[in-house]
Structure 1
Amino acid sequence: MTDEQAEAVAEILSRFAPQGVAIEKKLVESNSYTPDMLKVYAFLLVDKELIQTKRKIEEATWHLSQIQPISQPKYREIRDQDWMTSWKEYYQPISVGKQLLILPAWVKGIETDRIPILIDPSMAFGTGVHPSTQLCLALIETYTQKGKPIIDIGCGSGILSISSILLGASHALAVDISPAAVQSTKENATLNQIASKIETSKGSNWEILSGQFSICNAHLVIVNILANTISKMLEQDLANIVADNGVLILSGILDSQASDITLCAETHGLRLKKEKKSGEWVALAFQKEQ
């Protein structure tokens, strides 16, 4: 399956598998992979709800398969004593950009010249595996300004806010429409010992623009969500959250959607500054003109 299909399957499985969801890519020597090398794993408890849970998963994935071709799920039982190591083995340290190293929360004491970012993947809100997150992080490395705040809309696991602060941002406003994502950001910020530097809350661009938080604009604004949502936010004055001469990073965009997003952004006073690609995914950095 493709990255987009894997992300859709992972979203479905995360509804039913609070114990963890993992996307596994088997890289070949060229550091690339083919669709048959990409798998999604979910870890379910064997309890009285298991039969019903499996039925719901199969119904949801069947409906998805009518839109794009995916295989139906397969199951394998894991003994209790193997539980923790079985799901943790799918999460390994990931080097991103020039400076960052994403580490599962249980990995300790790694010697590295990179900036370590601890993320708990059991929360299923973005672990840095997906290309859209990695592209976004690479742009954050470029555009984070030391001593200045950032705004992260659709914060998920908080990985983007956390990375910005560890790269020198003074503090972050991280919002998401999902209360579970807000909680995930709080917990991951605590893991990285920067909880006091991240203001987290349920919300989106509307709440920011209405002045409900400590800041209502920033020199770096980050949005890593679906392209259709980005388009709607641009039409809803997203550009007003970006300070003059500031940068807006948009990710979660397919290559086929990039031109439409760029056109929409440019009609709202944003100029394309940089574009990064990975496979079918694109991340865009725009500068707000005065």
Structure 2
Amino acid sequence: MAWIQINTIVDENLAETLSDAFMEAGACSVTFEDAKDQPIYEPELGTTPVWKNTKVVGLIDAEMDPNDVIATVTAMLPQISAEAYKVEQLEDKDWIRAWMDQFKPMRFGDRLWIVPSWSEPPEKDAVNLMLDPGMAFGTGTHPTTALCLTWLDQHTPSGLNVIDYGCGSGILALAAQKLGAQTVSGTDIDPQAILASQQNAERNHESIHFALVKDFDSEPVDLLVANILAGPLKELSTEFDRLLKPGGQLVLSGLLETQAAELQAHYATLGIQLNTLQTKEEWALLSGFKN
């Protein structure tokens, strides 16, 4: 099926309004892109991050007339002239296959492989986690996920009770389970994450309890892994302290290397010493023990 893109660059105050206008005009989807290389590392929870200069891209069926769409959008937003919009014909190809081709089997540490559900494991006798990325975060491609997976491979959770807090696709919970954990549970604030995690557990023939944060409860565990963001990691410190046994181990990622020292100091006030720092690109992982 062929598609047409219509895009323009606006300031952050108009991005959401233009997105709504595109949808009203018949667009199948609208995406935001950074127009000026302005990274957004840590948006506020529950918000849609936009850039000061945001490229708004509306996708329409090639059978629609892009001039009609632009005319409709311009009528709703006259402050953006019709000449500001750029129209591009997209190549007609199998977009699902193109998306699937982005994900290849990946190895973490000595024996852990993350294998897309449509691929064959490269090493049959390795610890293979079959994953469908779905709509939830967590495929192993992001540096913080890679740091956590490598840590789990190097520090076998065999016989431990484990929580994956902010489970995303369930990738860390499944890795812990396949690496020998006694029990594993996972939680997230996003219902889609819980659904994706449950489906990935079924795909791997593993029994793991996943629940939304509002419904999640657990006895203190031996190991808690949280790959979120620095702000939530700080806000959740007392909850993590409650969920850890004395002597329990805490692994935190999703933070920038420049944020590590502040988190270490904060957790030290609770008696949790995060003494080990590992980095990948500009991202970091902290690990340590509760006194």
| Unmatched tracts of structure 1, length 5 or more | 1-15, 17-46
Is 2:145–2:227's contact at 8 Å kept on the other side of the alignment? Answer: yes
Q: Specify the SS of the correspondent of 1:257.
A: helix
Question: Matched residues in 2 for 1:187 and 1:150: separation?
Answer: 19
What's the CA shift string for 1:70-90, capped at 9, x where partnerless? 86669763536x233211111
Report what 2:204 is aligned to.
Answer: 192
8 Å contact from structure 1 (residues 152, 174) kept in 2:
yes
Answer yes or no: is the 8 Å Cα contact 1:102–1:116 preserved in 2: yes
Q: 1:84 to 1:136 in 2, by over 3 A?
A: same
**Closer, same or farther: CA 61–175 of 1 in aligned 2, 3 Å:** same
**In the alignment, residue 211 of structure 2 is paired with which amino acid?**
S
Q: How does 1:136-151 map to 2 (within 5 A)?
A: 136-151=148-163
Q: Are 2:32 and 1:51 equivalent residues in the alignment? A: no
Cα pair distance change 1:188/1:48, threshold 3 Å = farther
Work out the CA distance in 1 between the residues paired with 2:136 and 2:212. Answer: 17
For residues 230 and 153 of structure 1, the distance between their equivalents in structure 2, rounded to whole angstroms, comes to 10
Check if 1:225 corresponds to 2:245.
no
Secondary structure of 2:205's partner? coil
- Alpha-carbon separation, structure 2, partners of 1:246 and 1:223: 14
Tell me which residue corresponds to 1:279.
281
Where structure 2 has 5 or more consecutive residues not aligned to the other structure, the ranges are: 1-18, 36-48, 59-87
Asked if structure 1 preserves the Cα contact closer than 8 Å seen for 2:109 and 2:154, the reply is no
Instruction: Go from structure 1 to structure 2 and tell me whether the alpha carbon gap of 1:102 and 1:269 turns closer, same or farther (over 3 Å shift).
Output: same
2:50 equivalent in structure 1: 64
When normalised by structure 2's length, the TM-score is 0.71
Task: Answer 1 or 2: which has greater helix percent.
Answer: 1
User: When you count strand as a share of all residues, which structure comes out higher?
Assistant: 2
Q: Kindly tell me: are residues 104 and 78 of structure 1, through their superposed partners in 2, closer, same or farther at Cα, counting changes over 3 Å?
A: farther
Aligned partners of 1:154 and 1:164: how far apart in 2? 14
Q: Which residue of 2 aligns with 1:203?
A: 213
Q: Deviations over 1:62-108 (max 9, x none)?
A: 67331xx786669763536x233211111111111222111111112
Q: Does 1:92 align with 2:104?
A: yes
1:78–1:147 Cα change, 3 Å: farther
Match of 1:160 in 2: 172
Tell me the residue number matched to 1:175: 187
| Deviation digits for residues 108-159 of structure 1 (CA, Å, limit 9, x no counterpart) | 2533453111111232321010000011112222334312220111100000
Amino acid at match of 1:98: D
CA distance in 2 between counterparts of 1:94 and 1:70 reads: 33
TM-score between both structures, scaled by the size of structure 1: 0.71
Percent of paired sites with the same residue = 30
Higher radius of gyration, 1 or 2: 2
Within the candidate set 226, 240, 254, 1:252 is matched to 254
> Is the 8 Å Cα contact of residues 139 and 285 (structure 1) preserved in structure 2?
no
Counterpart amino acid of residue 281 in structure 2:
G
Count of residues in correspondence between the two structures = 229
Partner of 1:241: 243
Q: Note closer, same or farther for the CA distance 1:109–1:251 as it changes in structure 2 (3 Å cut).
A: closer
> How far is 1:52 from its partner?
6.2
